[in-house]
Structure formats: structure tokens, C-alpha cells
A and B are shown apart, each in its own frame.
Chain A
Amino acid sequence: MSRIPLSALIGLAVTVAFFVAAIFANFIAPYGMAEIVGDSWEPASSKFLLGTDTIGRDLLSRMIYGGRTTIFIASAATVVSFVVGSLLGFTAAVLGGWMDQGMSRIVDLVMAIPTLILAMVILTVMPTTLIVLILVMGLLDATRVFRLARAVAVDIAVMDYVEAARLRGERLGWIIFREILPNALSPLVAELGLRFIFAVLFLSTLSFLGLGVQPPLADWGGIVKENKEGLVYGVSAALIPAFAIAVLAISVNLVADWILNRTTSLKGGRGA
């Protein structure tokens, strides 16, 4: 861990700042999340650093609380998608044959339907709670992770060292977690950063459409939705969450790049 490149440092700092703000929202936010403290669409001032929103709530406070919701749901959905997707993908690759065919075709079937439409249909039928939202996003994203994990693992599963492990009599668990997973980690980590950002965008889309996080709870997509009319009058309130999403996306990927660089070393990161 001797030297961290500048890009990764910036990414790390910004990402950490976002997460800290999300975790300690109660202490950082100057006002309450749903507290009406001023007029609608007040411009930025020393009292309201980012101004107020459509019904006079402090935008900065809503951004911080919204960030908490967005980051929590996106992280949870990413974890779900990676655990489910990579485990099933590895299993399909190692077992092969009918298991592989069956799982892969089911995944193809799900992927054939546009994710957003599928998610909208499910979410209109199901009650929109946090758990449902996380599971729907996670499982739909898991199809992508499954494809990647399976593709990577198929290449690894034919290596002689995996054959040697099979000949030793190792169980499926060892082969997946000790032989394949460490070698499949680099592409998966790169994908992790990307998937997290897609989860943020997906959640924002759903909220913008009114199917994601329900008011009075705030999230970035919801804030855009609430303030979009302001754009017509030259109020930039709707652009602020969009900007936050972009900054988070870039900084997370800077970190993912750096981790990718480190994990591709075959010498335990010792250099040389």
C-alpha cells in the first residue's frame, strides 16, 4: 500500500466524503429532511447554501438525506447482485452441462426483457418498500454479473490447476472460492464499480418515474423529479442531484481502476 496514485486519492477522498455525509446525515444536515424552512425555490444564500426546493425545504439537507437513501439502496442492490450473480455464474461454469444450460437460458430470458420495463411492472404490482426495491434492483442486475462471472470462470475452469484440484477430490466450494474466485476477482471488481453506478442511475430513474423511493423520503432521483419544473424558470435545483450523481460515478470508478491495477499483480502486490 506504499503509493496511491493521485487519481485514486481524489476518487477515494470524494467517495469517502459521500459515504460519510450519507452515514452522518443527521449531524451534518443543517435542517430536517422534510422540514419546510423557507419560500419555494429561494436562491443560494448563507442561510440555504444550495437554496430551497419546490415547497421551500432546504436543498442541501435534502441532498444529504437523499444521498443516504440513494447510496444505501444502490450499495445493497450491488451486493445482492454480486453475491447472487457471481455465485450462480461460477457454479454454472464449474458444473457445466445441463445445469449451465438451464441457468444461462433463464438468464437470457430475463435479459431479453428491458430491465426498466420489467422493474416498472414488478414495482407497480409489489408494494414499494426498501427491501422490495433492493431485491428487484439486485436480482435484475445479477443477470449481468452472472454473464460476466460465468464467462470469466469458464476460462479458468479449464486450467490445469482447477483440474488438479478436481483430481485431488476437492469439493465445489473450494474450487469456487479458492481456485476460481481469486483469479476472477479483477474483472469482477472493475464491474463492481460500474454496477454500483448503474444501480445509482437505475434507482434515480425509478424515483424520477415515481416508482422508486416514495415521498416524503428523499433520494436524488426524487429531488430531480420534484424540481424539474423549476428548470423552465431558470432554477437550477434539479441539476444539483444530477451533478452529485456524476461526481460519485467518476470517483467510484477512479477507485475501482486503482483496485483493479493492484489485484492484477500476480506477485501478491509486492511489485518486482
Chain B
Amino acid sequence: MLDMTQTNNASPILEIRDLRIGGTIYAPGEKPRDVTIVDGVSLTLARGKVLGLIGESGAGKSTIGMSSMAYGRGGVRITGGEVFVNGRDILRDSPARLRGLRGREVTYVAQSAAASFNPAKKLMEQVIETSLSHHVMSRDEAEARAVTLFRKLGLPKPETIGERFPHQVSGGQLQRVMTAMALCPKPDLVVFDEPTTALDVTTQIDVLAAIKEAIRDTGVAALYITHDLAVVAQIADDIMVLRHGKTVEYGETGQIIHAPREDYTRALVSVRSQEHPEKPSGGNPVLKVKGVTARYKNVPLDVLRDVSVSLEPGHTLAVVGESGSGKSTLARAITGLLPPSKGKITFAGRELSAALAGRSKDDLRELQMIYQMADVAMNPRQTVATIIGRPLEFYFGLKGAARDKRVQELLDQIEMGRGFADRYPAELSGGQKQRVCIARALAAKPKLIICDEVTSALDPLVAEGILKLLLDLQAQEKVAYLFITHDLATVKSIADSIAVMYRGQVVRYGPKSDVLSPPFDDYTDLLLSSVPEMRQGWLEKVIVHRKMESAGN
């Protein structure tokens, strides 16, 4: 493929001119109306280069990515502009020509590899499928190429991994297999649609490094779509910042992250830099977890092993670790949903009964929970007033006007103001939904709120707003947070103390300043070093200096 990068660098592989994409919304009980999803976007991509498309959800990133295959997902229409791939305007190509393009000249890596593979077929069959159907190479050649790619992408046992089924490899590995699948037919352009968003930070950098190396070695051009600027800074040559379907800023990576011209880009660049001074310790802990061991029914393995942490009133304890480390299980043990088999939990001076059924109304009231997915944490058939008002009614017996007044006070506290009380959750944005969940927890006047990954489903700027709100509310209400997250940047901006969990155990625990200063144990080092930093060349440095591999590998 080396010859490709040398010859013909002048003509771009992909050129998009003034692209417009629209769709029609068929809302029930309303006239269908047209909306513009992408509005006048132009870009060029030369051979062997990587362009990062970045923006929050709804910015039109994926839609632009799909347009390079002349494809509109879910009834989306390309209404104007031109898309040139290898010098041909593919928007005017016949369906037969498009079939020749898709999976041959342009390939695609989806966000959720687990949902994109056919679970009934072996990996190798799926990886070489397009190469065979486009007659790019023979089956033997394709399989040999797939194995080479598996090896290049750092997959274990590259010779035999193709014999496995999708459920037999981990999420990070599957994402790399998908990358191999995209690269196998020797395409000219690969569209990566948030390939690392669903992965743990520790796994993310492995996949990221593998993708970067594979792009460099094969010389393909790539569109890399993500909402994380720090990630795209590692891999892209140029970056385009998108918002509401329009280009905000388009430039070379160094310029975007070091000298952004637009306010919106500046906000994206500085999003992770919020600092939070550690509060002085002192006073009796509101929550003491001692030697808790727990396992799920029918699982012959302790998910939590001898976990001990404590939390002072008005403080934040962050529980960090990758998925499967037992963070959420710890929350379930504290709330009583999963009674621990050993150990005890003391809350506000009282020992909590292990099972939920044995707890008093005050125990339940003073320990509230906020969930990761705000839209399933609220009953879609209840209005905001009912959702927030129910705890008031249930715990304090507030009714009628008194309840409505308190609901409005809470809405003001979460900075939403008037006009939301009789809305349904479906009529709120993602950030607003999470705010309502916060108000619901706050309505019970709790001493402790367990926050389970509350910001990980949100766009960075919205997430930052939620974190600020949580800190403000903590200052006003003196409520303690048990903050479960896998994102260390979040931890830095909210925590007073930190517990690092790894395979069901607390491997490092203490005040934030201690936990985040060296010397580190191997796992904390891995976790800390895996958080993408907003500078170029960070990825290569980390890969060299890591002490251990992630558990997902």
C-alpha cells in the first residue's frame, strides 16, 4: 500500500462541497415538517490523512460520515451539494455503482461493535465477507490479510481468533476486529463512527493506538467521528468542529486545540480543566462501609471482596474503576438492593439492615440515588411535577399547593425555572432530564446521594453543567455524594476522596491529593495515564510508559 501514499497526493480521496442533508419529522398529531440536519458543510481529505469530525449529539457528525457512502440513515435525504470520492460525484452514481463503492472503496466502523456483528457467524467469515463479494482477492488471500491485520491491531492469537464467535471476545477486541473488517478489502477511505466511545478508558487507548497504527501502515484516509476532542487530537491531522449541522471551525489539529478561534471550540477545549479544591476532613462519617463482600445469585464468584470505605458529611467520595470492577455493585449493596453476604454498613450513626425490606422510611429517605440513564430513571408517563412531587408527598406528606410550591423551589434550585412542571420526560433534553433526577433526589432532603455514572451519557459541555450544579447543591445542602464513575477527569473536578476499584476490591483509597500523587500502584497508574489529554503525541508516550495492560485485554 506504500505506493498509494506516494503517488497522486494532489487529488483528494474525499471532497465534500456545500453538503446539505435534510429529513422529515413525522411527529404524531402534527403535520410532517422538514428539518435541516447538515447545512453547507465542505471538506477535503487527502490520501493517508485523518480528519476528525467532532461535536455534540445531534451535530450531524455521523450523518456527514454516512454521506461519504451516499447513504442516509433512517429516512435522511441528501438535499444538496456534492460528494466526490476518488474524483467521482457519488451522489449521482447508480445503485449498482454505489454497491461497488460501499464496502470496497469506503468502509465503515460502527460505534457498537457488539451490536453490529452477526452473532451467528464466525468472526473470520464476517471480516473477509466484503473482500470476497467485491472479488478483491481470493479467500486464502483474504484470510491471510485478515490475520495480518489482527496481528497489527494487537489482537491475541491472531491465527485463531477468526474462528471465534462475536460473543467470545471482549468489547475492545471486537472493536478491533471490526477495524480489521473495515481495512480488509483495502479501502481508500474508512469512516470510524465513535469507535471507542463505548469502551473503558483503559481499553480505549489500546484500540486507539491500534487504529492509529493500522491507518499509518495501510495508508488509508479516514474520517474519525467522536464527541471527545482529546481522543481525536491523538489521531487526526485535521479537525472539523460541528454544531447544529454547521461547521464551527475547520483547521489543523494543533491549531484547533492550542489556538481555537471560536468560543464554542474554546469551551470544548477547556471542558476538562475544572478544578475542585479538596475539602478538609473532620467530623463523623455519614457512611461507613466495613468489609463488605457480595455476590449475585447463581454466580459462583464474589463481585465485591472485603470493601471498606467511609464518607464524611458534605464530602464527595469518588469510586473509580473500569466496567466490571464492582463500582455499581457497591452502590447496590449500600442501597440494599443486593444484600451483602459479609460486612456491615453504618449510615448516619445507625447500622443499616442488609436487605431493603428491613430499612426504615428515614433510612430510605436520607439515602437517595441518581442513575446513569436519566430517561429510564423517570417514569415516562409521569409529569415532572409528579416525579419530583412524589418524594415530597411520600416522605413529608406535602399535598396540593404546598407540594406545587416546593416542586417549583426545587426546579429553581436545579436552574430550570418555570414552565417545566407539567412536562413529560420525553419533552426534556438529556441534561434537563438528569437535572430533574437530581431534583427528585434532593426533594427527599437526603444526607447522601449515590451518583451512578450520572454524566457519562451526556455531551461534555452538558456534563460539565451537571457537575457544577452538583457542587453548588452540595455547598447549599451539605449533602454527601458517593460518585461512581470511570472518568478520571470528572473525579478531579468533584471528588474529595477517591476509592480505586479493580476486580471487586478497593486497590487504592484515600484523600484525593494522596490518591492522585505518586508513587502509584500499577492499576492506578494505568487508569490515570489512560485519560486522554488534550495534546498531540500523548498517546505514543502513554503506550511506552504503561506498567500493565488493561483487564479487558
| Residue ranges of A at the interface with B (Cβ–Cβ < 8 Å) | 2-3, 159-161, 163-164, 166-170, 178-179, 182-183, 261, 265-272
Determine if B157 is an interface residue (Cβ-Cβ < 8 Å): no
Given A267-B424, A272-B30, A272-B427, also A161-B364 (CB < 8 A): no
B92-100, B168-176, B266-274, B377-385 - interface stretch: B377-385
Selected contact of A169 from candidates B30, B364, B382, CB within 8 Å: B364
Is the beta-carbon distance between A167 and B379 smaller than 8 angstroms? Answer: no
Is the beta-carbon distance between B361 and A271 smaller than 8 angstroms? Answer: no
Selected contact of A163 from candidates B337, B361, B425, CB within 8 Å: B337
Contact with A along B445-460 (1 / 0, CB 8 A): 0000000000000000
9 contacts between A and B (CB under 8 A): A160-B377, A164-B371, A167-B364, A167-B369, A168-B364, A266-B380, A266-B424, A266-B425, A271-B29
Is the beta-carbon distance between A160 and B373 smaller than 8 angstroms? Answer: yes
Given A266-B426, A268-B424, A272-B427, also A161-B29 (CB < 8 A): no
Selected contact of A170 from candidates B368, B380, B394, CB within 8 Å: B394
In the bound complex, residues from chain A placing their C-beta under 8 Å from that of B382 are 178, 182
Which 9 A-B pairs give the minimum distances between C-beta atoms? Answer: A271-B29, A182-B381, A266-B426, A160-B377, A169-B364, A161-B379, A160-B371, A160-B376, A266-B380
Is the beta-carbon distance between B356 and A161 smaller than 8 angstroms? Answer: no
Determine if B335 is an interface residue (Cβ-Cβ < 8 Å): yes
Selected contact of B335 from candidates A3, A161, A167, A272, CB within 8 Å: A167
**A17–chain B nearest beta-carbon distance, Å:** 27
Is the beta-carbon distance between A168 and B424 smaller than 8 angstroms? Answer: no
User: How far apart sit A178 and B27, CA to CA, in the bound complex (Å)?
Assistant: 27
A263 nearest CB neighbor, chain B only: B381
Given A168-B391, A169-B361, also A272-B376 (CB < 8 A): no
User: How far apart sit A166 and B27, CA to CA, in the bound complex (Å)?
Assistant: 34
Interface size, chain B (Cβ < 8 Å): 33
10 more A-B residue pairs beyond the given contacts A164-B369, A167-B356, A266-B380, with a C-beta to C-beta distance below 8 A: A3-B29, A161-B377, A164-B377, A168-B394, A168-B444, A169-B361, A169-B364, A179-B379, A265-B29, A267-B424
In the bound complex, residues from chain B placing their C-beta under 8 Å from that of A270 are 29
| Residue ranges of B at the interface with A (Cβ–Cβ < 8 Å) | 27-30, 335-337, 356, 359, 361, 364-365, 368-369, 371, 373, 376-383, 390-391, 394, 424-427, 440, 444
B361 nearest CB neighbor, chain A only: A169
A265 nearest CB neighbor, chain B only: B28
B440 nearest CB neighbor, chain A only: A164
In the bound complex, residues from chain A placing their C-beta under 8 Å from that of B390 are 168
**B291–chain A nearest beta-carbon distance, Å:** 24
**A93–chain B nearest beta-carbon distance, Å:** 16
In the bound complex, residues from chain B placing their C-beta under 8 Å from that of A2 are 29
* A161, A179, A270 — most chain B CB neighbours (10 Å): A161
A268 nearest CB neighbor, chain B only: B424
Selected contact of B337 from candidates A167, A168, A170, CB within 8 Å: A167
Selected contact of A267 from candidates B368, B376, B378, B427, CB within 8 Å: B427
Is the beta-carbon distance between B356 and A266 smaller than 8 angstroms? Answer: no
In the bound complex, residues from chain B placing their C-beta under 8 Å from that of A183 are 379-381
**A227–chain B nearest beta-carbon distance, Å:** 46
**A167–chain B nearest beta-carbon distance, Å:** 6
Is the beta-carbon distance between B426 and A159 smaller than 8 angstroms? Answer: no
**A148–chain B nearest beta-carbon distance, Å:** 18
Given A164-B371, A179-B379, A265-B29, also A169-B394 (CB < 8 A): yes
* Contacts between the two chains (Cβ within 8 Å), count: 68
User: How far apart sit A224 and B268, CA to CA, in the bound complex (Å)?
Assistant: 76
In the bound complex, residues from chain A placing their C-beta under 8 Å from that of B427 are 267, 272
* A169, A170, A265, A271 — most chain B CB neighbours (10 Å): A169
User: How far apart sit A265 and B373, CA to CA, in the bound complex (Å)?
Assistant: 20
In the bound complex, residues from chain A placing their C-beta under 8 Å from that of B361 are 169
In the bound complex, residues from chain B placing their C-beta under 8 Å from that of A179 are 379
In the bound complex, residues from chain A placing their C-beta under 8 Å from that of B424 are 266-268
Given A160-B371, A167-B356, also A272-B27 (CB < 8 A): yes
In the bound complex, residues from chain B placing their C-beta under 8 Å from that of A159 are 376
**B522–chain A nearest beta-carbon distance, Å:** 34
User: How far apart sit A212 and B544, CA to CA, in the bound complex (Å)?
Assistant: 84
In the bound complex, residues from chain B placing their C-beta under 8 Å from that of A167 are 335-337, 356, 364, 368-369
Selected contact of B27 from candidates A160, A164, A271, CB within 8 Å: A271
In the bound complex, residues from chain B placing their C-beta under 8 Å from that of A161 are 376-379
B370 nearest CB neighbor, chain A only: A164
User: How far apart sit A139 and B391, CA to CA, in the bound complex (Å)?
Assistant: 38
**B320–chain A nearest beta-carbon distance, Å:** 22
**A139–chain B nearest beta-carbon distance, Å:** 29
User: How far apart sit A161 and B376, CA to CA, in the bound complex (Å)?
Assistant: 6
In the bound complex, residues from chain B placing their C-beta under 8 Å from that of A265 are 28-29
**A179–chain B nearest beta-carbon distance, Å:** 6
**B252–chain A nearest beta-carbon distance, Å:** 42
**A192–chain B nearest beta-carbon distance, Å:** 18
Selected contact of B381 from candidates A160, A166, A266, CB within 8 Å: A266
**A94–chain B nearest beta-carbon distance, Å:** 14
**A10–chain B nearest beta-carbon distance, Å:** 20
A160 nearest CB neighbor, chain B only: B377
* B335, B381, B382 — most chain A CB neighbours (10 Å): B381
Is the beta-carbon distance between B371 and A271 smaller than 8 angstroms? Answer: no
User: How far apart sit A178 and B390, CA to CA, in the bound complex (Å)?
Assistant: 11
* A164, A168, A268 — most chain B CB neighbours (10 Å): A164
In the bound complex, residues from chain A placing their C-beta under 8 Å from that of B376 are 159-161
Selected contact of A271 from candidates B30, B368, B444, CB within 8 Å: B30
User: How far apart sit A95 and B374, CA to CA, in the bound complex (Å)?
Assistant: 25
User: How far apart sit A265 and B29, CA to CA, in the bound complex (Å)?
Assistant: 10
B31 nearest CB neighbor, chain A only: A271
User: How far apart sit A166 and B336, CA to CA, in the bound complex (Å)?
Assistant: 10
**A43–chain B nearest beta-carbon distance, Å:** 50
User: How far apart sit A163 and B440, CA to CA, in the bound complex (Å)?
Assistant: 14
In the bound complex, residues from chain B placing their C-beta under 8 Å from that of A178 are 379, 382
In the bound complex, residues from chain A placing their C-beta under 8 Å from that of B444 are 168
User: How far apart sit A152 and B31, CA to CA, in the bound complex (Å)?
Assistant: 32
User: How far apart sit A168 and B364, CA to CA, in the bound complex (Å)?
Assistant: 6
In the bound complex, residues from chain A placing their C-beta under 8 Å from that of B391 are 168
